[in-house]
A and B are shown apart, each in its own frame.
Chain A
Amino acid sequence: MNIWPSLLIVAVTAISTLATRALPFILFGNKKRQVSEPILYLGRVLPPAVMAILVVYSLKDISFGSAASWANPIICVAVTAAVHLLRRNTLLSIGIGTVCYMVLVQGAFF
């Protein structure tokens, strides 16, 4: 762990996060300016694209060397999505998906 570089990374994340939350108030706080159309468009379509990329990002370190190392996460993503489609309970879906993965990783397939 590198203390100062890590502190900088955390600070940049904190400032950038605050910027996304404060920007509407800075841009549109004073007068009733119209929000420009491309921004509204990106606001609608960007979040699903970013979330899909984050699923890939969170799995980026799986290797395709052995069957188990890539089959386990794909099985568990499918299980998580299936549980969520059935019950639409966020905590339940995350819980079952994670336990499923921990069992597979620590159990017979490892």
Chain B
Amino acid sequence: MPARRIIKQAFLRTIPVMMGYLVLGIAFGLLLQRAGYHWLWALGISIFVFAGSMQFVLVGLLVQQEPLATVAITTLLVNSRHLFYGLSFIERFKAMGRRGRYMIFALTDETYALLCSVGEAGSQEDRDDLFFWTALLDQSYWVAGSVIGALLGSFIRFNVAGIEFAMTALFTVIVVEQWLTSNRHASAIIGLLCGISSLVLLGPQRFLLPALLVSVAILLITRGISGGRT
């Protein structure tokens, strides 16, 4: 299939992600700009990090100037779900060579969902092209959104106080979505209780890392009790 038709097909398939990434990207750019960072920071972070939820967390880490160990462990845990996305595509991405390495880097939640919905129709080569353009288009929407947001932040006239709630709303929606699609709710409740008790005990500056580590510990311990059955 000619490249133009593949790109058009990829574009049509990524329209829903485009809406989401532009809006959330703008919210991220606005937040980063309000934290005192030039729009070039939004550009660089969205190119080199490219992880939606984590970039919102990153704004907080930057504002607090957290120690690097906290930054690393927080990132590993917040992105832990990515470990399991890759497992579905090990053979495919390996066969894609250099572009496959970009695919590994660019495997976000939304891109993963789109790739999973690519059927078996057409030639292997066409499907590889479709994979690559899906990932590249998704990242370009995210980069564009965050730069627009950061620039808007410098020129904006209306009062944006409260825009930071977009991050809370995003996390809330993900929790509700996970709650609806899973029949085991214990871990969400464990996370919530660990988060709240750690916040009350340690205060806003220091609660994140202990909350994450205690949750992992409790999840592993309760697994032992239930004999590994979930």
Contacts and interface: CB of A to CB of B under 8 A. Distances in A.
B220 A38 contact: yes
A40 B104 CA distance: 19
Contacts of A80: 168-169, 172-173
B83 interface: yes
A88 B177 CA distance: 8
Interface in B44-73: 44-45, 48-51, 53-54, 56-58, 60-62, 65-66, 68, 71-72
B228 A102 contact: no
A58 interface: yes
B175 A48 contact: yes
B204 to A, nearest CB: 4
Contacts of B68: 8-9, 12
Interface in A43-80: 43-61, 73, 76-77, 80
Contacts of B72: 12, 16
A85 interface: yes
A84 B93 contact: no
Given A1-B36, A18-B105, A46 B195 contact: no
Contact of A60 (B23, B179, B199): B199
Contacts of A38: 220, 223
Interface in B154-172: 159-172
A109 to B, nearest CB: 11
Contact of A56 (B27, B37, B105, B211): B211
Nearest to A95: B23
A73 B167 CA distance: 12
A100 to B, nearest CB: 8
A50 B68 CA distance: 19
A55 B168 contact: yes
Given A12-B68, A58-B168, A49 B204 contact: no
A22 B93 CA distance: 11
A102 B168 CA distance: 13
B83 A43 contact: yes
B123 interface: no
Of the listed residues B84, B87, B162, the one surrounded by the most CB atoms of chain A closer than 10 A to its CB is B162
Nearest to A46: B80
Contacts of A23: 83, 86
B216 interface: yes
B168 A59 contact: yes
- 6 smallest CB-CB distances across A and B, nearest first, come from A49-B191, A56-B195, A52-B191, A24-B86, A102-B162, A16-B75
Given A58-B171, A101-B168, 8 more contacts: A9-B68, A10-B41, A16-B71, A20-B82, A51-B178, A91-B19, A91-B20, A98-B166
